[in-house]
Amino acid sequence: MKLATLAALAAALTFAVPSAWANYNVNAKLTCYDDGDGSKLLKLKLGNAALIARCLSVTISDPSVANYALTFDSDTRELHVIRRCDSLVMCDLSSQASCQTAGESGENINTNAACIYTLLDPTEDPVGQMACFEKEKYSLATNKYSFSTSCAGTLDIGEPCTLSFKSGKLFDESGACPTAK
């Protein structure tokens, strides 16, 4: 193969899927337990808004929470809170601890993975762990990419909690970013 052909192929592979490996919406289920007044264990069911509010250091009812999304990044393999208008990462809520992947990888990708993630608070201190099962597919011939993950874990954010989520549709930026004052 000529050098120019190899360079063109390398460029095509580099630019083939830049937008596919990206942020995917997640729908988190967060269940926390509190001792209440000490007579009965209280079970609190929360979702994305609780994690977003915790990242932003605001209350769940703060209107600014709606300007952010909870996503899983298929490239960096991190759970993030991002700003809806421009995908600016506000918090990394996980980091990959270990992962085992099997399947086809190369021009085409068809892999399954089992991974363990460390869950992080907004200051990036460890607060728990989660296990995820991930599927990734890409075909160079069709230029189609798909990614999915299903995760479950436990964390301690002042009370013991369980967290579970599945990735959904590709995140789509929307809305206007706040202007600097």
The residues, any chain, with a CB within 8 Å of residue 95's CB and separated by 6 or more, are 78, 117, 118, 120, 124
Which residue, 122, 36, 109, is CA-closest to 79? 122
Tell me, yes or no, whether 144 lies in a domain. Answer: yes
The pLDDT tens digits for 114-160 are 999 999 999 999 999 999 999 999 988 888 888 999 999 999 988 99
Over range 48-52, report the average pLDDT: 96
Identify whether 37 is part of a domain.
yes
Domain total of the chain: 1
Q: Is residue 4 part of a domain?
A: no
Provide the pLDDT for residue 172: 92
Q: Three-state SS for 56?
A: helix
Q: Which segment of 10-19, 64-73, 83-92, 150-159 scores lowest on mean pLDDT?
A: 10-19
Q: Which domain holds residue 34?
A: 23-169
Within-domain flag for 52: yes
How far apart CA 2 and CA 120 sit, in angstroms, is 48
Question: Residue 10: helix, strand or coil by DSSP?
Answer: helix
Q: Is 155 exposed, middle or buried (0-12, 13-18, 19+ CB in 10 A)?
A: buried
Residue 179 belongs to a domain: no
Residue 15 lies in a domain: no
